[in-house]
Chain A
Amino acid sequence: NAGVTQTPKFQVLKTGQSMTLQCAQDMNHNSMYWYRQDPGMGLRLIYYSASEGTTDKGEVPNGYNVSRLNKREFSLRLESAAPSQTSVYFCASSLDGGNPYGYTFGSGTRLTVV
């Protein structure tokens, strides 16, 4: 099925460990996004990629890095995980930025840092 695929779905890390969350879309979208969701705070933008080859910081970028590997894939890396990064992470894509179509979301990665 067409859409946004995130891996893994669940992950437990120890403080200080690193990991990469993977995201791929097959809708030929130009723009991709990483959000984190925390109770009572909605979704907050971590990083986004307006087009292949570009990335920009969002609202909460500290502690994260991203790579737009190609048009389809956009990964999120935690270099040294902290308990404050326990969250649900969503990847999303859109045809273009500033567009009226909204985003298509993946099903999320539930990350726990102990």
Chain B
Amino acid sequence: AQSVTQLGSHVSVSEGALVLLRCNYSSSVPPYLFWYVQYPNQGLQLLLKYTSAATLVKGINGFEAEFKKSETSFHLTKPSAHMSDAAEYFCAVSDSNDYKLSFGAGTTVTVRA
């Protein structure tokens, strides 16, 4: 069974500053890992995914994430925050043996002007 822990339920950054959202997972088999973004009153949109190819994954809107097996982590970063990045972000994990995605509790990002 998989599980996901997102460290920090709220993150506040200044416009132009680094965005770092932390995600740790547990999985008994090699995982598939995902980051989703949810804008207010909308559904979830896929930002990026790790599927056992390159460990550094680039996604939409300038986000990227690095898979570190030794740390069981999949942290999300963006070098320079924009006001439009204000949203809730979810890390999720599944594996090839399972149909289900398990989600973290989410991290809400606010961007200060």
Residues of A whose CB lies within 8 Å of any CB of B are 4, 31, 33, 35, 40-45, 48, 50, 58, 90, 92, 94, 96-108
Contacts and interface: CB of A to CB of B under 8 A. Distances in A.
A42 B104 contact: yes
Contacts of B98: 97-98
Contacts of A107: 42-43
Given A100-B51, A102-B49, A48 B43 contact: no
A103 B90 CA distance: 13
Contacts of A48: 99-100
B73 interface: no
B100 to A, nearest CB: 6
A100 B90 CA distance: 17
Given A90-B44, A98-B96, A42 B101 contact: no
Given A98-B96, A98-B98, A100-B51, A90 B43 contact: yes
A58 B103 CA distance: 13
Given A45-B100, A97-B99, A106 B43 contact: yes
Contacts of A50: 99
Interface of B: 4, 9, 32, 34, 36, 41-46, 49, 51-52, 90, 92, 94-101, 103-106
A100 B32 contact: yes
A41 B96 contact: no
Nearest to A97: B99
Given A41-B105, A42-B104, A42-B105, A98 B42 contact: no
B100 A58 contact: yes
A48 B94 CA distance: 14
B97 A98 contact: yes
A58 B51 CA distance: 24
Contacts of A101: 49
